[in-house]
Amino acid sequence: MCELLGMSANVPTDICFSFCGLLERGGRTGPHKDGWGITFYEGKGCRSFKDPLPSCDSEIARLVRSYPIKSRAVISHIRQANRGKVSLENTHPFIREMWGRHWTYAHNGQLSNYKSLLKPEIYQPVGNTDSELAFCWLMDQVRQKYPTKPKNMQTVFRFIAKQAETLRGLGVFNMLLSDGVYLMAYCTSKLHWITRRAPFGKATLIDTDWVIDFQEETTPDDIVSVIATEPLTGDETWQKMGTGEFLLFKQGELIFNSAKA
Task: List Cβ neighbours of 142 (8 Å cut-off, separation of 6 or more).
Answer: 98, 156, 159, 160, 163
What string of DSSP letters covers 77-135?
EE---SSS-SSGGGPSPEEEEETTEEEEEEEES-BSSGGGSPPPSS---SS--HHHHHH
The DSSP code for 31 is: B
DSSP SS3 for 214: helix
d(CA 136, CA 149): 18
d(CA 75, CA 88): 17
Q: What are the angstrom distances between the C-alpha of 169 and each of 1, 112, 172, 210, 255?
A: 18, 9, 8, 39, 26
DSSP SS3 for 237: coil
Q: Is 2 a catalytic residue?
A: yes
Largest CA distance in the chain: 51
Active site residues: 2
